[in-house]
Amino acid sequence: MLAEPGDFAEWRSAARGLLAGGVAPEDVSWRGGAEGASLFGDAAAPASAGAVSLPRELLEIAERVICHRDPEVPARLYRIIWRAARDRQLLARTTDAEVDWLRKADKIIRRDVHKMHAFVRFRRLGEEAGRESFAAWFEPSHRILRLTAPFFQRRFYGMDWAIVTPDARAIWQDETLVYGPGGTKDEVPDSDVVEDQWRTYYGAIFNPARVKIDAMRAEMPKKYWKNLPEAQDIAPLLAGAEARVERMREAAVSLANPLTDKWRTRVPDELLLDDDVKTLGDVARAVDRCTRCPLYCNATQGVAGEGPGAARIMLVGEQPGDQEDLQGRPFVGPAGHVLNEALEEAGLDRRRLFLTNAVKHFKFEPRGKRRLHQNPTTGEIDICRWWLDKERAFVQPDLIVTLGASALRGVTGKSVSIKSMRGAVHELDGGSKLVATIHPSFLLRLPDRERAAEERAMFVADLIRARKLAA
C-alpha cells in the first residue's frame, strides 16, 4: 500500500524491493492509502536481494509519471520497470504499446509542470525587513507540486513565497523549502494591487484585428482560467474586438497630425554626387551609398581602401569577404591574416601601404548560417573601376600590386592571366608600375601542403620584388 499517492520515493523503494525479490507484475496489486489494502496483495513479501539497475532515463520518467492521478499508474510503471530490467533497449522501443503509453503519460505530466510554471500567480502578502512575501493558490491537473517547487525556488530565491494546492503546499521561507498538506483557496489573498496593471497590459497587448480563440485555448485551456486574474477580461475583449476593428475601418485614414511636424527636424543624410568626391575621405563615405550595380542590396556596407594617401605601394585585392563586409575594412578576414604574415616576411609595413579591392561590395551566396564567396563578374569589376580609379588618382602610387585575377582586371581593364603577367614589371598608363601576383585566399584553398608552401614562397617573393621596386 502506498501511503501517499504520487510520492516517488515511496513507490521506488517498494518497487525496488519487489523487483529484487523477483515478484512478477501480475502478482502485485498496488493500492492507494485510502483503500487500505495490502501493497503486496497475496504475493509473498520479497526477499531482499541485490539492487536491480535501471536506465537513468527511465527513473527520471518514472519520477514524473508517478504524479499522474490515474490509479493504475503505479502498477503500469512497475510492469515497465520489470520489463526494462530484462530488456535494456525497452525505452527505445517506441512502437511498443506500454512504452508508447509511458511516453504519452510523461508528456502529459511535463505539460502540466510547464503550465504550472507558467500559470501560478503570486499575490503579495507583505514585507518584513526588506524581504517581500507572496502566496499563490494553484490547481494542477496532477500531483506535481514537488516537480515544480524547485523551479520557483531557483527563480524567486530573494523573496518568501508559498504555493498552496489541493494536494499539498510548498513554502519557501528563510531560504528553506518545506512541503506541507493541501489547503484551500481562501488561505491566499483574493487580490493584489498590481493586478490592475497586469490586466491593463493584457488588454492593451491584444490585437483585435487578429482574433484566434482556438490558438489561445489550445495553450491556455479553460481549466486554468479561474485562477488567472487576466482571464476575466477575455470575454469582454472578444466582445469588443469586432467593433474596434470596424471603427478602424470606418475611420479609414486620417490626416497627418500637424503638431508632430516639429519633431521631424532631421534632414536626410546628404548624398554625395560623383562630382563631389574630391578626397579619399569622400570615397570612403560615398562608396557606402554606391548603387551602380546591385551588389549593394545584400552587402552590409561598401568597403573603401585603407592606408595613407601618400602610400608608395597600393595593394589591390578582389572584394571584401565576410569579415571585411561586417567590419567595413579591407583584408581583416582569414585572407587578410595570410597577407599580413606574408607582408611581414617580405619586409613590408602594412601601415605604409594602401590596401583596397577591385570591387567594393561583398558578393556572396547565402547558405544556411554562412555566406559563400562568389567571384564578381567582369561587368561588376568594370563598373566598380570608377572607385578604384578615384583611389588611384588620389594616392598616385609608384607601384600597384594586384592580388588575383579580379584585381588585375580592375587595374588593367583587360582580362589577362596572372601567369602571363607574373614575374615581370609592367608600366601602367599614368606612370605607375604593376606587379601581378595571386590572391592570398588562393593559398587557403590549396589542400596539398607542399604545393601550398611553394605557392606561398612565390607570393612572398613577389612582395619582396614589389618592395625593392618601390624603394
Partner 1 sequence: MSAKPILKKLSILADAAKYDASCASSGTVKRDSVASKGIGSTEGMGICHSYAPDGRCISLLKILLTNFCIYDCRFCINRASSNVERARFSPQEVVRLTLDFYKRNYIEGLFLSSGIIRSEDYTMEQLVEVARILREEHRFQGYIHLKTIAGADPGLIALAGLYADRLSTNVELPTEAGLSSFAPEKKPETIRKTMASVRIGADDAIEAAKSRLIGKAMPPRFAPAGQSTQMIVGADAARDDDILKTATNLYSGYRLRRVYYSAYSPIPDASSDLPPVRPPLMREHRLYQADWLLRFYGFERAEIMEGASGGMLDLAIDPKLAWALMRREAFPVDINRAPRELLLRVPGLGTRAVDRIVAARRLGKLRLGDLAKLTASVKKVLPFIVTLDWRPGKLTDSADLRARFAPPAEQLALAL
Say if CB 316 and CB 397 are below 8 A apart. Answer: no
Q: Which is nearer to partner 1, 50 or 158 (CB)?
A: 158
Minimum Å distance from CB 42 to partner 1?
35
DSSP 269: P
Minimum Å distance from CB 419 to partner 1?
34
Q: What phi, psi does 47 have (nearest 5°)? A: -80, 135
Q: Under 8 Å CB-to-CB from 283, ≥6 apart: which residues?
A: 277, 304, 305, 387, 390, 391, 394
Instruction: Reduce the DSSP state of residue 377 to 3 states and report it.
Output: coil
Applying CB under 8 A, which of residues 85, 125, 238, 272 lies at the interface with partner 1?
A: 238
The rounded distance, in Å, linking the Cα atoms of 387 and 437 is: 21
Minimum Å distance from CB 207 to partner 1?
5
Q: Which is nearer to partner 1, 186 or 214 (CB)?
A: 214
Minimum Å distance from CB 414 to partner 1?
32
Q: Which residues from 311-340 bind partner 1, rule CB under 8 A?
A: 322, 325-328
Minimum Å distance from CB 241 to partner 1?
7
Applying CB under 8 A, which of residues 36, 257, 447, 449 lies at the interface with partner 1?
A: 257
Provide the grid cell at 333. 578576414
Find the angle CA(291)-CA(294)-CA(298) to the nearest 5 degrees.
100
Binding mask 353-392 for partner 1 (x = CB under 8 A): -----------x-xxxxxx---------------------
Query: Cβ of 273: how many Cβ atoms within 10 Å?
Result: 8
Applying CB under 8 A, which of residues 208, 386, 413, 464 lies at the interface with partner 1?
A: 208
Q: Under 8 Å CB-to-CB from 370, ≥6 apart: which residues?
A: 322
Minimum Å distance from CB 111 to partner 1?
12
Provide the grid cell at 101. 503509453
Give the strands of the sheet with 313-317, arranged side by side: 354-357, 313-317, 399-403, 433-437, 426-427
Applying CB under 8 A, which of residues 173, 191, 200, 374 lies at the interface with partner 1?
A: 200
Q: Which residues from 69-128 bind partner 1, rule CB under 8 A?
A: 89, 92-95, 100, 114, 117-124
Q: Which residues from 119-178 bind partner 1, rule CB under 8 A?
A: 119-124, 132, 134, 136, 151-159
β-bridge mates for residue 168, sequence order: 181
The rounded distance, in Å, linking the Cα atoms of 413 and 219 is: 64
Q: Under 8 Å CB-to-CB from 468, ≥6 apart: which residues?
A: none
Binding status of residue 461 toward partner 1 by CB under 8 A:
no
Binding mask 277-296 for partner 1 (x = CB under 8 A): -----------xx------x
Binding status of residue 265 toward partner 1 by CB under 8 A:
yes
Q: Which is nearer to partner 1, 59 or 372 (CB)?
A: 372
Minimum Å distance from CB 215 to partner 1?
3
Q: Which is nearer to partner 1, 366 or 430 (CB)?
A: 366
β-bridge mates for residue 172, sequence order: 161, 177
Applying CB under 8 A, which of residues 63, 98, 106, 192 lies at the interface with partner 1?
A: 192
DSSP 191: -
